Amino acid sequence: MLRIVIRVLGAVVAVVGIALVVLGGWFAARLGGTGTAEFTTRPAAGVPVTVSPDVLNRVDVDVTVTATPSDGGTVWVALANPSDAEAVLGDARHVDVTGVDVRDGALTTRVLGSGTSPALRAADLWRVQDDGTEPVALTVEQADAPETLVVTATTGSVESLTLTFVDKRWFVEAVVAVLVGLFLLAAGVIALWPRRRTRTPDGTPGPPHTEPEASAPARHLTGKESAR
């Protein structure tokens, strides 16, 4: 009975080990040695995009936001206090970033509001703002949290929006998960298939059981060889 329990526990430990190896390896490959995670969305054209503090300030690392305009377009990016950004947008139709999809490396979004977008650049409430005909990158520092990011195209449309998080600790944690998984896998395999031990005549455990080496086949002497 005890042996069955040990084998069941060994199987469970081995499965957990395999899961840690797979997940840790996937995250390590995804993050790379720098611990970089990127998430991108391609929002609907003609409406502003907002990123709330629930996403922008979710982790304690600085976030690089990169907004790319369509060909010939101009993109505008700004940061504001969440209540100020909400007030200036009002009921305007816009795309709101709600979270990240780790597996696909994508930003999840939803469409809110139904009204017409106001002249956002004219509002005197933006802490930081930048624009350009090339990709515009803005670094969001967590020391200034909470903040809401607003992105819109003054001409053309917003081709893509990417959030980049960098933390080397994530890569280290992924590697540690792989190592722990390998240890658990090895422990589980040992529990599933323990080495049998022989016993001495007095009942004490002997050395591990090993199969005897096969003896060489007997050689039959010919008449001439036996005469020698």
Residue 134 sits in a domain whose CATH number is: 2.60.120
Q: What is the domain count for the chain?
A: 2
Place of tokens 């020698």: 228
Residue 89 sits in the same domain as residue 103 = yes
Expressed as residue numbers, the domain containing 4 is 1-33+168-195
Residue 206 lies in a domain: no
The answer to the question of residue 205 being in a domain is no
Over range 129-157, report the average pLDDT: 92
pLDDT tens sequence across 18-75: 999 999 998 898 888 889 999 999 998 889 999 999 999 988 899 999 999 999 899 9
pTM of the model: 0.74
Nearest CA among 167, 146, 163 for reference residue 77: 163
108 within some domain: yes
Q: What is the pLDDT of residue 42?
A: 94
Strand-strand pairing, 94-101 and 49-51: parallel
Looking at the fold, whether 23 and 41 belong to one and the same domain comes out as: no
User: Residue 161: what pLDDT?
Assistant: 96
27 and 82, same domain (yes or no): no
**How confident is the prediction for the chain on average, in pLDDT?**
85
Answer yes or no: is 133 within a domain.
yes
Q: How far apart are CA 123 and CA 92, in angstroms?
A: 15
Residues 52, 156, single domain; the answer is yes
For residue 212, pLDDT beyond 60? no
Within this chain, do residues 181 and 138 fall inside the same structural domain, yes or no?
A: no
3-state SS of the chain is CHHHHHHHHHHHHHHHHHHHHHHHHHHHHHHCCCCEEEEEECCCCCCCEEECHHHHCCCCCCEEEEEEECCCCEEEEEEECHHHHHHHHCCECEEEEEEEECCCCEEEEEEECCECCCCHHHCCCCCEEEEECCCEEEEECHHHCCCEEEEEEEECCEEEEEEEEECHHHHHHHHHHHHHHHHHHHHHHHHHCCCCEEECCCCCEEEECCCCCCCCCCCCCCHHHHHC
pLDDT at residue 226, as a whole number: 46
Residue 117, in any domain of the structure: yes
Q: Are 191 and 80 members of one domain?
A: no
